[in-house]
A = this chain, B = another copy of it.
Protein backbone atom coordinates (compact mmCIF):
# COMPACT_ATOMS: atom_id res chain seq x y z
CA UNK A 1 0.00 0.00 0.00
CA UNK A 2 2.92 2.29 0.72
CA UNK A 3 4.31 2.20 -2.78
CA UNK A 4 0.88 2.53 -4.28
CA UNK A 5 0.09 5.62 -2.30
CA UNK A 6 3.38 7.36 -3.01
CA UNK A 7 2.79 6.57 -6.68
CA UNK A 8 -0.64 8.10 -6.60
CA UNK A 9 0.66 11.25 -4.99
CA UNK A 10 3.46 11.65 -7.51
CA UNK A 11 1.02 11.13 -10.31
CA UNK A 12 -1.19 13.87 -8.97
CA UNK A 13 1.77 16.21 -8.68
CA UNK A 14 2.59 15.92 -12.35
CA UNK A 15 -0.95 16.38 -13.63
CA UNK A 16 -2.34 19.06 -11.38
CA UNK A 17 -0.75 22.50 -11.23
CA UNK A 18 -2.43 23.31 -7.95
CA UNK A 19 -0.63 20.35 -6.42
CA UNK A 20 2.75 21.89 -7.04
CA UNK A 21 2.19 24.11 -4.01
CA UNK A 22 1.68 21.12 -1.80
CA UNK A 23 4.40 21.09 0.83
CA UNK A 24 6.56 18.00 1.07
CA UNK A 25 7.25 17.05 4.69
CA UNK A 26 9.59 14.52 6.23
CA UNK A 27 6.99 12.14 7.59
CA UNK A 28 3.26 11.52 7.47
CA UNK A 29 1.77 8.98 9.85
CA UNK A 30 -1.76 7.97 8.91
CA UNK A 31 -3.35 6.27 11.89
CA UNK A 32 -6.69 4.61 12.42
CA UNK A 33 -6.84 6.23 15.86
CA UNK A 34 -4.84 9.07 17.43
CA UNK A 35 -4.96 9.59 21.19
CA UNK A 36 -3.63 13.11 21.58
CA UNK A 37 -3.93 13.02 25.39
CA UNK A 38 -4.98 16.67 25.25
CA UNK A 39 -7.47 17.39 28.06
CA UNK A 40 -11.07 16.84 26.94
CA UNK A 41 -10.01 16.20 23.34
CA UNK A 42 -11.88 13.30 21.71
CA UNK A 43 -10.14 10.24 20.36
CA UNK A 44 -9.36 11.03 16.73
CA UNK A 45 -10.24 8.56 14.01
CA UNK A 46 -8.53 8.39 10.61
CA UNK A 47 -6.18 11.23 11.37
CA UNK A 48 -2.68 11.99 10.14
CA UNK A 49 0.23 13.40 12.08
CA UNK A 50 2.50 15.55 9.93
CA UNK A 51 6.13 15.67 11.03
CA UNK A 52 8.85 18.03 9.84
CA UNK A 53 12.33 17.50 11.29
CA UNK A 54 11.78 16.74 15.00
CA UNK A 55 8.36 18.33 15.43
CA UNK A 56 4.67 17.80 14.83
CA UNK A 57 3.65 20.48 12.34
CA UNK A 58 0.06 19.44 11.65
CA UNK A 59 -2.63 17.07 12.81
CA UNK A 60 -5.65 16.67 10.56
CA UNK A 61 -8.07 14.14 9.09
CA UNK A 62 -6.30 11.77 6.73
CA UNK A 63 -8.65 12.65 3.87
CA UNK A 64 -7.44 16.25 4.18
CA UNK A 65 -3.82 15.34 4.82
CA UNK A 66 -3.73 13.45 1.53
CA UNK A 67 -4.71 16.64 -0.29
CA UNK A 68 -2.53 19.04 1.67
CA UNK A 69 0.80 17.23 2.09
CA UNK A 70 3.23 14.95 0.40
CA UNK A 71 5.95 13.25 2.39
CA UNK A 72 9.37 11.71 2.03
CA UNK A 73 8.14 8.92 4.30
CA UNK A 74 4.59 7.76 4.69
CA UNK A 75 3.57 5.24 7.34
CA UNK A 76 0.04 3.82 7.21
CA UNK A 77 -1.28 2.37 10.44
CA UNK A 78 -4.69 0.97 9.54
CA UNK A 79 -5.11 -1.14 12.65
CA UNK A 80 -3.17 0.96 15.12
CA UNK A 81 -3.55 3.67 17.67
CA UNK A 82 -0.93 6.41 17.69
CA UNK A 83 -0.11 7.70 21.17
CA UNK A 84 2.45 10.09 22.60
CA UNK A 85 5.74 8.41 23.48
CA UNK A 86 5.56 6.87 26.94
CA UNK A 87 7.56 8.47 29.74
CA UNK A 88 9.06 6.37 32.51
CA UNK A 89 9.01 8.74 35.45
CA UNK A 90 11.41 6.86 37.74
CA UNK A 91 14.04 4.30 36.84
CA UNK A 92 17.66 3.30 37.24
CA UNK A 93 18.27 2.15 33.70
CA UNK A 94 21.83 1.07 34.42
CA UNK A 95 20.53 -1.67 36.72
CA UNK A 96 19.17 -3.60 33.73
CA UNK A 97 21.97 -6.15 33.94
CA UNK A 98 20.86 -6.87 37.52
CA UNK A 99 17.35 -7.84 36.39
CA UNK A 100 16.17 -10.69 38.57
CA UNK A 101 19.51 -11.12 40.31
CA UNK A 102 17.79 -11.44 43.70
CA UNK A 103 14.03 -11.86 44.05
CA UNK A 104 11.67 -12.74 46.91
CA UNK A 105 14.04 -11.47 49.60
CA UNK A 106 13.61 -9.11 52.56
CA UNK A 107 14.62 -5.59 51.54
CA UNK A 108 17.76 -5.35 53.68
CA UNK A 109 18.99 -8.80 52.57
CA UNK A 110 18.32 -7.80 48.99
CA UNK A 111 20.31 -4.59 49.39
CA UNK A 112 23.07 -5.70 51.77
CA UNK A 113 23.81 -9.15 50.38
CA UNK A 114 23.07 -8.73 46.68
CA UNK A 115 22.49 -5.30 45.14
CA UNK A 116 25.07 -3.23 47.01
CA UNK A 117 27.90 -5.82 46.82
CA UNK A 118 27.20 -6.22 43.10
CA UNK A 119 27.27 -2.46 42.65
CA UNK A 120 30.50 -2.08 44.66
CA UNK A 121 32.19 -4.73 42.56
CA UNK A 122 30.82 -3.91 39.13
CA UNK A 123 29.69 -0.35 38.70
CA UNK A 124 31.96 1.58 36.38
CA UNK A 125 31.56 3.91 33.44
CA UNK A 126 31.62 0.92 31.07
CA UNK A 127 29.09 -1.06 33.12
CA UNK A 128 26.71 1.89 33.26
CA UNK A 129 27.00 2.50 29.51
CA UNK A 130 26.44 -1.16 28.65
CA UNK A 131 23.63 -1.80 31.11
CA UNK A 132 21.91 1.45 30.13
CA UNK A 133 21.97 0.48 26.47
CA UNK A 134 20.26 -2.81 27.30
CA UNK A 135 17.61 -0.91 29.25
CA UNK A 136 17.16 1.73 26.53
CA UNK A 137 16.59 -1.03 23.97
CA UNK A 138 14.01 -2.68 26.21
CA UNK A 139 12.19 0.60 26.73
CA UNK A 140 12.20 1.66 23.06
CA UNK A 141 10.67 -1.67 22.03
CA UNK A 142 7.95 -1.11 24.62
CA UNK A 143 7.05 2.38 23.42
CA UNK A 144 9.05 4.36 25.99
CA UNK A 145 10.63 7.44 24.42
CA UNK A 146 11.79 9.27 27.56
CA UNK A 147 12.83 8.30 31.06
CA UNK A 148 13.65 10.00 34.34
CA UNK A 149 16.79 8.35 35.68
CA UNK A 150 18.94 8.34 38.78
CA UNK A 151 22.25 6.46 38.96
CA UNK A 152 26.01 6.71 39.15
CA UNK A 153 28.03 7.83 36.08
CA UNK A 154 25.13 9.63 34.37
CA UNK A 155 27.42 10.65 31.50
CA UNK A 156 27.76 6.94 30.66
CA UNK A 157 23.99 6.60 30.63
CA UNK A 158 23.93 9.65 28.33
CA UNK A 159 26.17 7.78 25.88
CA UNK A 160 23.64 4.93 25.74
CA UNK A 161 20.74 7.37 25.43
CA UNK A 162 22.48 9.07 22.53
CA UNK A 163 23.12 5.81 20.74
CA UNK A 164 19.54 4.63 21.27
CA UNK A 165 18.23 8.01 20.15
CA UNK A 166 15.97 8.39 23.15
CA UNK A 167 15.11 11.30 25.37
CA UNK A 168 16.10 11.27 29.05
CA UNK A 169 16.13 13.42 32.12
CA UNK A 170 19.26 12.19 33.89
CA UNK A 171 19.65 12.60 37.62
CA UNK A 172 22.89 14.00 39.00
CA UNK A 173 23.09 11.49 41.85
CA UNK A 174 24.11 12.72 45.31
CA UNK A 175 24.84 10.62 48.41
CA UNK A 176 26.96 11.09 51.48
CA UNK A 177 28.94 7.88 51.24
CA UNK A 178 31.70 6.88 48.86
CA UNK A 179 31.08 4.63 45.83
CA UNK A 180 33.04 3.76 42.72
CA UNK A 181 31.66 6.96 41.28
CA UNK A 182 32.36 9.62 43.89
CA UNK A 183 33.84 10.07 47.34
CA UNK A 184 31.46 12.39 49.18
CA UNK A 185 28.49 14.65 48.59
CA UNK A 186 30.55 17.51 47.17
CA UNK A 187 32.34 15.13 44.84
CA UNK A 188 28.98 13.77 43.64
CA UNK A 189 27.73 17.28 43.03
CA UNK A 190 30.86 18.31 41.17
CA UNK A 191 30.79 15.18 38.99
CA UNK A 192 27.11 15.73 38.40
CA UNK A 193 27.68 19.27 37.15
CA UNK A 194 30.46 18.06 34.87
CA UNK A 195 28.05 15.51 33.44
CA UNK A 196 25.39 18.21 33.11
CA UNK A 197 27.84 20.38 31.18
CA UNK A 198 28.78 17.44 28.95
CA UNK A 199 25.26 17.22 27.48
CA UNK A 200 24.55 20.95 27.35
CA UNK A 201 23.06 21.69 23.95
CA UNK A 202 21.85 18.11 23.50
CA UNK A 203 18.18 18.50 22.62
CA UNK A 204 17.24 15.08 23.98
CA UNK A 205 18.94 15.09 27.37
CA UNK A 206 18.07 17.20 30.38
CA UNK A 207 19.16 17.01 34.02
CA UNK A 208 17.78 17.08 37.49
CA UNK A 209 19.66 16.98 40.76
CA UNK A 210 19.04 13.63 42.38
CA UNK A 211 19.76 13.42 46.09
CA UNK A 212 19.27 9.68 46.59
CA UNK A 213 16.93 9.65 49.60
CA UNK A 214 16.32 11.29 52.99
CA UNK A 215 18.22 8.46 54.71
CA UNK A 216 21.37 8.80 52.58
CA UNK A 217 21.63 12.59 52.31
CA UNK A 218 22.38 15.09 55.10
CA UNK A 219 20.62 18.36 55.79
CA UNK A 220 23.67 20.31 54.64
CA UNK A 221 23.71 18.50 51.31
CA UNK A 222 19.98 18.92 50.81
CA UNK A 223 20.45 22.67 51.35
CA UNK A 224 23.16 22.73 48.70
CA UNK A 225 20.87 20.82 46.35
CA UNK A 226 18.18 23.46 46.78
CA UNK A 227 20.64 26.26 46.07
CA UNK A 228 22.11 24.61 42.99
CA UNK A 229 18.70 23.64 41.63
CA UNK A 230 17.62 27.28 41.89
CA UNK A 231 20.79 28.63 40.34
CA UNK A 232 20.75 26.17 37.43
CA UNK A 233 16.98 25.99 37.01
CA UNK A 234 16.97 22.22 37.51
CA UNK A 235 14.42 19.84 38.92
CA UNK A 236 15.00 17.70 42.01
CA UNK A 237 14.41 13.94 41.92
CA UNK A 238 14.56 11.82 45.06
CA UNK A 239 13.16 8.68 46.68
CA UNK A 240 10.60 9.61 49.33
CA UNK A 241 8.44 7.65 51.79
CA UNK A 242 9.13 4.38 50.01
CA UNK A 243 9.16 2.25 53.18
CA UNK A 244 7.96 2.40 56.76
CA UNK A 245 11.57 1.92 57.92
CA UNK A 246 12.64 5.09 56.19
CA UNK A 247 9.95 7.01 58.07
CA UNK A 248 10.73 5.41 61.45
CA UNK A 249 14.43 6.14 60.98
CA UNK A 250 13.73 9.78 60.18
CA UNK A 251 11.51 10.17 63.22
CA UNK A 252 14.26 8.69 65.40
CA UNK A 253 17.05 10.77 63.86
CA UNK A 254 15.35 14.05 62.97
CA UNK A 255 12.19 13.98 65.06
CA UNK A 256 10.01 14.37 61.96
CA UNK A 257 8.90 12.28 59.01
CA UNK A 258 11.04 12.68 55.89
CA UNK A 259 8.60 14.83 53.92
CA UNK A 260 8.38 17.30 56.80
CA UNK A 261 12.16 17.45 56.95
CA UNK A 262 12.42 18.11 53.23
CA UNK A 263 9.72 20.76 53.49
CA UNK A 264 11.70 22.48 56.25
CA UNK A 265 14.85 22.32 54.12
CA UNK A 266 13.04 24.02 51.23
CA UNK A 267 13.03 21.14 48.76
CA UNK A 268 9.33 20.96 48.02
CA UNK A 269 8.06 22.83 44.97
CA UNK A 270 6.80 22.35 41.42
CA UNK A 271 10.25 21.15 40.33
CA UNK A 272 10.26 18.34 42.92
CA UNK A 273 9.64 14.71 41.85
CA UNK A 274 9.25 12.22 44.68
CA UNK A 275 9.59 8.60 43.65
CA UNK A 276 7.22 6.19 45.43
CA UNK A 277 5.27 8.15 48.07
CA UNK A 278 3.91 4.86 49.40
CA UNK A 279 3.26 5.93 52.98
CA UNK A 280 1.61 9.34 53.10
CA UNK A 281 -0.69 10.80 55.73
CA UNK A 282 -3.58 13.03 54.63
CA UNK A 283 -1.79 16.24 55.65
CA UNK A 284 1.29 15.10 53.73
CA UNK A 285 -0.82 14.69 50.61
CA UNK A 286 -2.09 18.23 51.19
CA UNK A 287 1.51 19.40 51.50
CA UNK A 288 2.46 17.80 48.18
CA UNK A 289 -0.59 19.41 46.55
CA UNK A 290 0.11 22.87 48.05
CA UNK A 291 3.70 22.87 46.82
CA UNK A 292 2.80 21.47 43.40
CA UNK A 293 5.11 18.47 43.84
CA UNK A 294 4.94 15.40 41.61
CA UNK A 295 4.79 11.72 42.57
CA UNK A 296 6.46 9.03 40.45
CA UNK A 297 4.27 6.06 41.35
CA UNK A 298 6.04 2.70 40.90
CA UNK A 299 3.37 0.08 41.61
CA UNK A 300 5.26 -3.06 40.54
CA UNK A 301 8.35 -2.18 42.51
CA UNK A 302 6.39 -1.12 45.60
CA UNK A 303 4.55 -4.44 45.61
CA UNK A 304 7.58 -6.58 44.78
CA UNK A 305 9.76 -5.08 47.52
CA UNK A 306 6.69 -5.21 49.81
CA UNK A 307 6.94 -1.49 50.49
CA UNK A 308 3.16 -1.20 50.34
CA UNK A 309 0.59 0.49 48.11
CA UNK A 310 0.67 4.23 47.46
CA UNK A 311 -2.61 6.11 48.10
CA UNK A 312 -3.08 7.07 44.45
CA UNK A 313 -6.84 7.66 44.57
CA UNK A 314 -6.31 10.14 47.39
CA UNK A 315 -3.35 11.84 45.68
CA UNK A 316 -5.42 12.30 42.53
CA UNK A 317 -8.46 13.56 44.43
CA UNK A 318 -6.27 16.15 46.07
CA UNK A 319 -4.80 17.33 42.80
CA UNK A 320 -1.28 15.96 43.13
CA UNK A 321 0.25 15.27 39.74
CA UNK A 322 1.20 11.58 39.41
CA UNK A 323 3.43 9.98 36.80
CA UNK A 324 4.34 6.29 36.64
CA UNK A 325 7.73 4.62 36.85
CA UNK A 326 9.18 1.16 36.60
CA UNK A 327 11.98 1.68 39.11
CA UNK A 328 15.11 -0.35 38.23
CA UNK A 329 15.06 -3.80 36.65
CA UNK A 330 16.35 -5.31 39.90
CA UNK A 331 13.00 -4.65 41.56
CA UNK A 332 10.41 -4.92 38.82
CA UNK A 333 11.74 -6.89 36.67
CA UNK A 334 10.58 -5.24 33.44
CA UNK A 335 10.97 -1.66 32.24
CA UNK A 336 7.45 -1.96 30.88
CA UNK A 337 5.17 1.05 31.05
CA UNK A 338 2.21 -0.95 29.74
CA UNK A 339 2.52 -3.19 32.80
CA UNK A 340 2.75 -0.16 35.12
CA UNK A 341 -0.18 1.57 33.44
CA UNK A 342 -2.40 -1.48 33.79
CA UNK A 343 -1.29 -2.24 37.33
CA UNK A 344 -1.73 1.36 38.49
CA UNK A 345 -5.27 1.46 37.11
CA UNK A 346 -6.24 -1.91 38.59
CA UNK A 347 -4.59 -1.33 41.96
CA UNK A 348 -6.17 2.07 42.50
CA UNK A 349 -9.62 0.56 41.91
CA UNK A 350 -9.02 -2.45 44.15
CA UNK A 351 -7.65 -0.44 47.05
CA UNK A 352 -10.30 2.28 46.86
CA UNK A 353 -13.02 -0.34 46.19
CA UNK A 354 -14.33 2.02 43.50
CA UNK A 355 -14.10 0.78 39.89
CA UNK A 356 -14.37 4.32 38.51
CA UNK A 357 -11.05 5.27 40.16
CA UNK A 358 -8.21 5.84 37.70
CA UNK A 359 -10.05 5.13 34.45
CA UNK A 360 -8.09 4.15 31.36
CA UNK A 361 -7.69 7.66 29.93
CA UNK A 362 -6.22 8.88 33.22
CA UNK A 363 -3.76 5.96 33.32
CA UNK A 364 -2.65 6.96 29.82
CA UNK A 365 -2.22 10.57 30.97
CA UNK A 366 0.01 9.37 33.80
CA UNK A 367 2.51 7.82 31.39
CA UNK A 368 2.42 10.76 28.96
CA UNK A 369 1.37 14.33 29.75
CA UNK A 370 1.42 14.02 33.55
CA UNK A 371 4.90 12.50 33.44
CA UNK A 372 5.99 15.30 31.11
CA UNK A 373 4.69 17.83 33.66
CA UNK A 374 6.67 16.12 36.40
CA UNK A 375 9.83 16.59 34.34
CA UNK A 376 9.00 20.18 33.39
CA UNK A 377 8.85 19.04 29.76
CA UNK A 378 5.12 19.48 29.12
CA UNK A 379 5.83 22.24 26.61
CA UNK A 380 7.84 19.82 24.48
CA UNK A 381 6.44 16.31 24.95
CA UNK A 382 3.65 14.28 26.53
CA UNK A 383 0.85 14.90 24.02
CA UNK A 384 0.28 14.94 20.28
CA UNK A 385 -0.07 18.63 19.48
CA UNK A 386 1.21 20.90 16.77
CA UNK A 387 4.51 22.39 17.86
CA UNK A 388 5.45 19.55 20.18
CA UNK A 389 8.24 17.09 19.56
CA UNK A 390 7.33 14.08 17.42
CA UNK A 391 7.76 11.46 20.15
CA UNK A 392 5.19 8.96 18.93
CA UNK A 393 4.29 5.31 19.44
CA UNK A 394 2.11 3.03 17.32
CA UNK A 395 0.29 0.16 18.98
CA UNK A 396 -1.48 -2.48 16.91
CA UNK A 397 -4.92 -3.17 18.37
CA UNK A 398 -6.10 -5.90 16.03
CA UNK A 399 -4.14 -9.01 17.02
CA UNK A 400 -6.53 -11.91 17.50
CA UNK A 401 -5.29 -12.66 21.03
CA UNK A 402 -6.59 -9.24 22.09
CA UNK A 403 -9.72 -8.99 19.89
CA UNK A 404 -12.31 -7.55 19.84
CA UNK A 405 -11.58 -3.89 20.55
CA UNK A 406 -14.55 -1.74 21.54
CA UNK A 407 -12.78 1.26 23.10
CA UNK A 408 -9.22 1.88 21.86
CA UNK A 409 -8.06 3.70 25.03
CA UNK A 410 -9.46 1.08 27.34
CA UNK A 411 -8.03 -1.60 25.06
CA UNK A 412 -4.61 0.04 25.24
CA UNK A 413 -4.58 0.09 29.03
CA UNK A 414 -6.35 -3.13 30.04
CA UNK A 415 -5.79 -5.48 27.12
CA UNK A 416 -2.65 -4.56 25.16
CA UNK A 417 0.87 -5.26 26.29
CA UNK A 418 4.11 -3.75 25.14
CA UNK A 419 4.37 -6.65 22.68
CA UNK A 420 1.77 -4.82 20.57
CA UNK A 421 4.01 -1.77 20.03
CA UNK A 422 5.06 -1.66 16.38
CA UNK A 423 6.80 1.73 15.97
CA UNK A 424 8.59 4.12 18.30
CA UNK A 425 9.63 7.55 17.06
CA UNK A 426 11.70 10.02 19.07
CA UNK A 427 11.97 13.61 17.84
CA UNK A 428 10.69 12.53 14.44
CA UNK A 429 13.15 9.68 14.00
CA UNK A 430 12.00 6.07 13.85
CA UNK A 431 14.11 4.45 16.59
CA UNK A 432 12.39 1.06 16.79
CA UNK A 433 10.06 -0.84 14.54
CA UNK A 434 8.88 -4.45 14.58
CA UNK A 435 11.90 -5.91 16.35
CA UNK A 436 14.55 -3.69 14.72
CA UNK A 437 16.36 -0.74 16.27
CA UNK A 438 17.72 2.13 14.19
CA UNK A 439 21.03 2.29 16.05
CA UNK A 440 21.32 -0.81 18.22
CA UNK A 441 22.37 -4.19 16.88
CA UNK A 442 21.05 -7.29 18.66
CA UNK A 443 24.58 -8.73 18.64
CA UNK A 444 25.77 -5.72 20.63
CA UNK A 445 23.16 -6.34 23.33
CA UNK A 446 23.95 -10.05 23.35
CA UNK A 447 27.63 -9.29 23.87
CA UNK A 448 26.78 -6.93 26.72
CA UNK A 449 24.79 -9.69 28.45
CA UNK A 450 27.51 -12.27 27.77
CA UNK A 451 30.21 -9.98 29.12
CA UNK A 452 28.56 -8.94 32.36
CA UNK A 453 26.24 -11.74 33.39
CA UNK A 454 29.04 -14.18 34.35
CA UNK A 455 30.64 -11.49 36.51
CA UNK A 456 27.38 -10.57 38.22
CA UNK A 457 26.24 -14.15 38.75
CA UNK A 458 28.18 -14.52 42.01
CA UNK A 459 25.88 -11.94 43.60
CA UNK A 460 22.72 -13.76 42.65
CA UNK A 461 20.27 -15.16 45.15
Contact = CB atoms under 8 A, between A and B. Distances in A.
A309 interface: yes
Nearest to A460: B406
Contacts of A401: 137-138, 141-142
A24 interface: no
Contacts of A354: 106, 306
A402 interface: yes
Q: Report how many copies the assembly holds.
A: 2
B105 A350 contact: no
A97 interface: yes
Contacts of A445: 400, 403
Given A309-B350, A349-B303, A351-B309, A406 B343 contact: no
A157 to B, nearest CB: 18
A343 B414 CA distance: 14
A306 B355 contact: yes
Contacts of A300: 346
Interface string A333-356: 110000000010011011111111
Contact of A353 (B105, B134, B308): B308
Interface string A267-304: 00000000000000000000000000000000010111
A194 interface: no
29 contacts: A99-B402, A99-B403, A99-B406, A100-B410, A100-B414, A100-B415, A104-B360, A105-B356, A106-B354, A107-B355, A137-B401, A138-B401, A300-B346, A303-B347, A303-B349, A304-B349, A304-B414, A306-B355, A307-B350, A333-B410, A333-B415, A334-B402, A403-B445, A404-B449, A404-B452, A404-B456, A406-B453, A406-B456, A407-B460
A448 B302 CA distance: 41
A380 interface: no
In the complex, which of the residues A137, A353, A411 has the most CB atoms of chain B within 10 Å of its own CB atom? A353
Contacts of A103: 359-360, 407, 410, 414
Contacts of A105: 355-356
A350 B303 contact: yes
B414 A308 contact: no
A305 to B, nearest CB: 6
A359 to B, nearest CB: 4
A110 interface: yes
B410 A104 contact: yes
A270 B270 CA distance: 57
Contact of A442 (B309, B357, B400): B400
A376 interface: no
Contacts of A100: 404-407, 410-411, 414-415
Nearest to A338: B417
Contacts of A184: none
A304 B407 contact: no
Contacts of A308: 350, 353
Contacts of A247: none
A401 B403 CA distance: 25
Contacts of A356: 104-106
A101 interface: yes
